[in-house]
Copies of this chain bind each other. A is one copy, B any other.
């Protein structure tokens, strides 16, 4: 059996003050063939806390006018990826032949201080009590990494510059514009060593994919892998790497040298450094140095940094983006996605191939 990605779409990522979560879901699914769906999986993190709307599976039943089984999955910023994983299990179980996976999030209606607080729902109670934000948590990791391996501001800047360059050719990106060294130099400090351009933005958006169990190969999800870990990043032996990524990457059977294109979780520029090393694209301490010479196309969408990061949608958008890249580029045969929840409390990865 092959798990083929037979449809993929996303809304433009950005500020959609005039659209509801239902509007975004309708927009992401309007061009997909929704006939004969057996099940639907929805990834979302914040609807219950920003809009007081739980029971999202029921909301989707209303939105798409159906009574089929619908499942609402939450795993912080990896909610979308976890929904994809469960969708593949539904197909493998033979309970379903065709499923829809939706990732959707509305974030920009809230002030950023409130969103930063709500995102910490993915962290530990102690982190919340200490008033820690995700930006500070990842900045702390970056500093520990810098102490261990060295890390300059230009190591980070090359990533944001590249992500924005990539986004220029993605009409769905939130920030499809190049940034200059001068802009970076003038960007306000957020949490040392991160300035504004090291941080992914607050974003509204939705993405959707159709997965079908088929006899013939196509653009298909070959494998998925999931790992979990404690929410508190400081509870880990070292904080400059993410064990959940390392475990998930080890479960997938692939060689980084064979990967043509990857969508990796870059909620901060430094997060991409960790991802490259944890997945095996670069030896420990070498990702920044090797970044510009990597053979694999990293984050052609612009990544979380420049395409945007509507948290529950990101994991689905990454799979949709790799499907699109494989469809559009004759030379691409193999891609991966990598989606992290919180500061590493959960991780989803997928290996996607084209026959």
Residues of A in contact (CB 8 Å), total 59
Q: A69 to chain B: closest CB distance in Å?
A: 4
Question: In the docked arrangement, what's the CA distance between A129 and B78, Å?
Answer: 31
Q: Are A71 and B73 in contact, with the CB atoms below 8 A?
A: yes
Q: A61 to chain B: closest CB distance in Å?
A: 4
Chain A interface helix/strand/loop/mixed: mixed
Per-residue CB contact flags for chain A residues 80-124 toward chain B (1 = under 8 Å, else 0) read 001001101111111100000000000000000000000011111
Q: Are B122 and A54 in contact, with the CB atoms below 8 A?
A: yes
Q: Are B74 and A55 in contact, with the CB atoms below 8 A?
A: yes
Q: Are A229 and B73 in contact, with the CB atoms below 8 A?
A: no
Residues on B with C-beta less than 8 A from A137 are none
Residues on B with C-beta less than 8 A from A71 are 73, 75, 82, 85-86
Task: Tell me which of A44-52, A146-154, A170-178, A253-261 binds B.
Answer: A44-52
Question: In the docked arrangement, what's the CA distance between A122 and B55, Å?
Answer: 5
Q: Is A303 an interface residue (CB 8 A)?
A: no
Q: Are A57 and B69 in contact, with the CB atoms below 8 A?
A: no
Q: A60 to chain B: closest CB distance in Å?
A: 8
Given contacts A55-B342, A82-B71, A346-B57, contact A62 B121 (CB under 8 A): no
Q: Are A67 and B227 in contact, with the CB atoms below 8 A?
A: yes
Q: Is A226 an interface residue (CB 8 A)?
A: yes
Question: In the docked arrangement, what's the CA distance between A45 and B346, Å?
Answer: 19
Q: A318 to chain B: closest CB distance in Å?
A: 18
Q: In chain A between 255 and 293, which residues have their CB closer than 8 angstroms to a CB of chain B? A: none
Residues on B with C-beta less than 8 A from A54 are 45, 49, 74, 76, 121-122
Given contacts A66-B228, A227-B69, A244-B67, contact A342 B86 (CB under 8 A): no
Q: Are B95 and A341 in contact, with the CB atoms below 8 A?
A: no
Residues on B with C-beta less than 8 A from A235 are 62
Residues on B with C-beta less than 8 A from A123 are 55
Q: Is A59 an interface residue (CB 8 A)?
A: yes
Q: A59-B124, A71-B75 are in contact. List 9 more A-B contacts (CB 8 A).
A: A51-B125, A55-B75, A58-B229, A61-B345, A69-B228, A71-B86, A72-B75, A74-B74, A92-B93
- A sample of 25 cross-chain residue pairs with beta-carbon separation below 8 angstroms, ordered by A number, consists of A49-B52, A54-B122, A55-B74, A55-B76, A55-B341, A57-B345, A57-B346, A58-B76, A58-B229, A58-B230, A58-B345, A58-B346, A59-B124, A61-B230, A61-B346, A62-B232, A66-B228, A67-B243, A71-B82, A72-B74, A73-B73, A74-B74, A89-B90, A92-B94, A92-B95
